[in-house]
Amino acid sequence: MFIWIIKRDLLLAVRRQSDVLITLFFFIIVVSLFPLSVGPEMNLLRTMAPGVVWVAALLASMLSLGRMFSNDYLDGTLEQMLLSPQSLSILVLGKAFAHWIVSGVPLVLMAPVLGIQYDLPFDALLVLTGALLLGTPVLSLIGAIGAALTLGLRGGGVLVSLLVLPLYIPILIFGAGAVEANMAGIAFDAHLSLIGAFLLASLVFAPWAAAASLRVSLE
Amino acid sequence: MAINWFKYSSPASFYTLAGKMIPIFVIAAVIFLVAGLYIGFFVAPTDFQQGEAYRIIFIHVPAAWMSMFLYVVMAFWAAIGLAFNTRLSSMFATAIAPTGAMFTFLALWTGALWGKPMWGTWWVWDARLTSELILFFLYIGFMSLQAAIDDPRRADKAGAIIAIVGVVNIPIIYFSVQWWNTLHQGASVSINQAPAMASTMLTGMLVMVLASWMYSIAVILKRVRVIILERESHSAWVTELQKKGAV
Amino acid sequence: MLQGINLACVRGDRELFRDINFSVEAGCLMQVSGPNGSGKTSLLRMLCGLSNPAAGEIRWCNTPVRSLEGEYFSDMTYIGHLSGTKDDLTVSENLRISSALAGVEISFSQAAEALAFIGLGGRDNLPVKVLSQGQRRRVALARLLVCKTTLWILDEPLVALDVAAVQLIKEVLERHLQQNGIVVMTTHQEIDITASSKMQLHLA
Amino acid sequence: MNWSSWSEFFSMGGYGLYVWGSYAVVFLCIVAEVLLISNRRRTLEKQYGHIHDLNK
């Protein structure tokens, strides 16, 4: 069942390429806006790079959160998901995983390229990609809770970001912190392990909470 | 006599009970407030380090504690409402949120005004002030989610879930901000180096905390009564109350 | 055997119905009728577990539905007003995915056979968005052919269907009832389905 | 008693602006909150007149 949900969502993503590309281009545009605003001065950009890339990743993955459940809600497939013998949390985990693949992985692959734009040293780029790889699934998982809660509400898209951004802050801190630590030469594994811990915790709790929110929204 | 707590769990009987309790808390709040202010301004000595400006702690610290405490109480009532499907506890959670948000705003405002004379800037990225700001966002998120949903039942449950997720995240956010603060600034400056507390200062502050407790309970009870009326307007007991003119 | 014990439903602060009692044995068809807005759809959504009754309880094989959760869903199929199909996917993909989600994985050939039976023969690889409303309804109802559940809860299944389709669905329902299945449905068109026992539940 | 005169009390050792600024805002917020609730209650009561007739 878990596989079917992912297969279906990836099939949908392939059929509707624009969603994937929109998220990616949004990420690229936001990241390349900063040098224009702050000036091309290299070592200033270098210190800003982790923060900018991470905030852009946060916003980009939140862009498509609103649509995670709303399409299914409108055409009735979400009801069928609630009525499937498989537990709803597994299905929500599948949805979040599919959302991560569609809007998380492209960002992770693009991040090093944009890092070069900010003249980041090579190992900082590696740490940045690693941190993003660990962090973006958490964004999709916690985002799933926000998307489920604001299902079918007018102005739901904006409300999701208001609900979910405060919960992203620890990931933002440790994600950007890992890259800064690496650039400053201090050990960054503490940051990555904390993000990993956060990932495991949200893997366990987020699907359950999102399933509960779906039941509340569809009552 | 055994108090049958469940008697008060129905909105109808709780409405009248709350009506009787509000004056008690209002009086208590006023008494503690006057006592606290008197101690704060007239008994507590001037601080050798910060001069008179430190007197702001008499409202900054109670506001900060109340904002944190009220969020936890709100999450508690929201969880009870979600688990036992009791409408009254969800109404309580909805009633607590605005007061909690107000205290968070006050904590931020007084924190900024205290920071200006001490460090020359209105806003200090201190760990506690920053987590207070994030707490403010959590309150706003909770209230806007509840405002966006028309059906009160769904609003209560959705609010409960975001409150529980929020309360689970508060310690995480607090420690990550704390950690982030020490990483960047190296704890040179932070509010939690409270000045050596003379006993009168401490008592002044504690009395002010009691005053803010009494005030919050009174205000929240008052708001719960209004929410009960709003949601129970169709039920019969409200119309009798209306006839008796005791609304 | 499906039982409803003094069910009540509140929508907003209006009470749609209260003290609804019924018991549907195997092989029985229950038709829920009533004017628009009388809570037919709410009752059906309650029966399939999408929403909780304000009062009363629903029992499946004498155990409350609330404690059954997963098992109950594997015995029940619900088709509501929404077609439950994705516009971008083709007809056969929709059918295979929706039946997989309901717990029954079917092959391409089984899907093609069900679609042929329901009258969508040559349209297996068409995306659903090009289909007419009636054809989408047929795709949704095609799920009844492949699912192996005993309880069918159908919310106005015959809407937007042409005469041939209505006849087809009548046969499917009759075959299901003969095999001791249970059907709970709402419909405005009068259709006579021969069933061992029929019940009428009228919501005022 | 720390203060010899009222003017000294209000100047608050030069920090008057900050101390009284924060106390004033606290007082304003409390009054605003209480007013908001009673206002919400008054609109309800107006509405009640309407609801009450309905139930008669």
| pLDDT per residue as tens digits for the range A131-159 | 999 999 999 999 999 999 998 888 778 89
The domain ranges of chain C are 1-75+150-204, 87-148
Model pLDDT, residue D55 = 44
Provide, for chain B, the percentages of residues in helix, strand and coil under a 3-state DSSP scheme, each rounded to the nearest 5: 80, 0, 20
**Interchain pair A159, B148: CB under 8 A:** yes
C64 or B194, which is more confident? C64
Q: Is there a contact between A170 and B161 if contact means CB atoms under 8 Å apart? A: no
Phi, psi of C8 (to 5 degrees): -140, 150
Yes or no: domain C1-75+150-204 corresponds to CATH 3.40.640.10? no
For C29, the enclosing helix (H) or strand (E) is strand C28-33
Q: Please indicate if any CB of chain A lies within 8 Å of the CB of C126.
A: no
Would you state the pLDDT for residue B188?
45
CATH number, domain B20-187+198-230: 1.20.120
Give the span between the Cα atoms of A4 and C97, in whole angstroms: 7
Q: Which amino acid is at A113?
A: V
Q: How confident is the model at residue C124 (pLDDT cuts 50, 70, 90)?
A: confident
Contact B151 C13 (CB under 8 A): no
Mean pLDDT to the nearest integer, C4-29:
83
Query: How many domains does the structure of chain A reveal?
Result: 1
φ, ψ for residue A36, nearest 5 deg: -65, -35
Q: How far is CA C166 from the centre of its chain?
A: 15
Its pTM surpasses 0.90? no
Give pLDDT, residue D56: 40
Spans in chain B with pLDDT lower than 70: 1-9, 184-198, 234, 236, 239, 241-247
| Domain limits for position A72 | 2-218
Extents of the domains making up chain B:
20-187+198-230
What is the pLDDT at residue D1?
53
Mean pLDDT of A160-174: 92
Residue B243, pLDDT score: 67
Inter-chain touch B233–C13, beta carbons under 8 Å: yes
Contact D/A (≥3 CB pairs under 8 Å): no
Contacts of residue B97, defined as CB under 8 A and 6 or more positions apart, other chains included, come to B74, B139, B142, B143, B146, B159
Q: pLDDT by residue (tens digit) across C135-186?
A: 888 888 888 888 888 888 988 888 888 888 888 888 888 888 888 888 888 8
A154 inside 8 A of chain C by CB: no
Give the pLDDT of residue B246. Answer: 55
Counting every residue written for chain B, the total comes to 247
**Chain A positions in Cβ-Cβ contact with residue C85 (cut-off 8 Å):** 75-77
Residues of B in contact with A166 (CB under 8 A): 134, 137-138, 141, 166, 169, 173
Contacts of A184 (CB under 8 A, 6+ apart): none
* Segment among A105-109, B1-5, C23-27 with least mean pLDDT: B1-5
Average pLDDT over residues C3-29: 83
Subunits close to C (at least 3 CB pairs below 8 A): A, B
pLDDT at B190: 45
Start-to-end CA span in chain B (Å): 29
Q: Residues C168, C174, C176, C179: is their CA dihedral positive or negative?
A: negative
C60 phi/psi in degrees, rounded to 5: -120, 120
Task: Note whether B160 and B78 are within 8 A (CB).
Answer: yes
Q: Are strands C76-79 and C151-155 parallel, antiparallel or unpaired?
A: parallel
Contact C195, C14 (CB under 8 A): no
* A51 pLDDT above the threshold of 50: yes
Evaluate if residue C102 carries a pLDDT over 90: no
